[in-house]
């Protein structure tokens, strides 16, 4: 069977749960229940990959910070040059005179990515830090 062949299967749900699903997702822009189920499965597979901890994963760290904080930009750069992780890409945006927003796309073991996110988020002058877990998945 080809990897991209679609297979139909049935799912039984209580009426209230199905109505809630439709009200929250499919009526608010999801193209179909099938696409929602596919996305939920992919999300769970990514979570399991992160929980497994052995294979490399990809994450996106979003931070905002006060760029006037003495030494902060140098510390951010030093942390990004840690050789245990690959910083695949960064994007830097000036929000206003005092604040910057950056996204860092990171590849490495889950524990190493989480550690970097925590270290960056804990720096004085960092106002916001959020890590989004991602990973390449088939299909």
| Tens digit of each residue's pLDDT (9 = 90 or more) over 126-138 | 999 999 999 876 5
The pair of three-digit structure tokens given for residue 106, joined into one six-digit string: 């990171």
E-strand ranges in 17-74 read: 57-66
pLDDT (0 to 100) of residue 27: 76
58, HSE (Cβ side, Cα atoms, 13 Å): 9
Q: What is the mean pLDDT of each run of 10 residues along the chain (139 residues)?
A: 78 92 82 88 90 88 95 93 84 96 94 93 96 78
Residue 17's pLDDT is: 92
Angstrom distance (rounded) from CA 29 to CA 32: 9
Spatial separation of the C-alpha atoms in residues 135 and 138, rounded to whole Å: 10
What's the predicted TM-score (pTM) here? 0.81
- Class for domain 57-134, per CATH? alpha beta
- pLDDT for residue 92: 96
**Which pLDDT tens digit goes with each residue over 69-93?**
999 999 999 998 877 778 999 999 9
pLDDT, position 14: 95
């Amino acid at each position: 069977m080809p990897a991209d062949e679609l297979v139909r299967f049935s799912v039984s749900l209580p009426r209230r749960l199905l109505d809630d699903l439709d009200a929250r997702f499919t009526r608010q822009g999801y193209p179909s229940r099938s696409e929602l189920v596919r996305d939920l499965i992919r999300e769970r597979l990514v979570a399991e990959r992160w929980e497994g901890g052995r294979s490399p994963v990809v994450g996106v760290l979003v931070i905002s910070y006060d760029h006037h904080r003495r030494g902060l930009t140098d510390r951010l750069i030093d942390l990004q040059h840690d050789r245990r992780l690959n910083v695949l890409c960064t994007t830097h945006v000036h929000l206003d005179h005092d604040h910057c927003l950056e996204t860092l796309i990171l590849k490495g073991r889950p524990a190493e990515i989480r550690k970097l996110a925590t270290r960056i988020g804990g720096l004085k002058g960092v106002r916001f830090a959020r890590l989004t877990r991602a990973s390449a998945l088939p299909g």
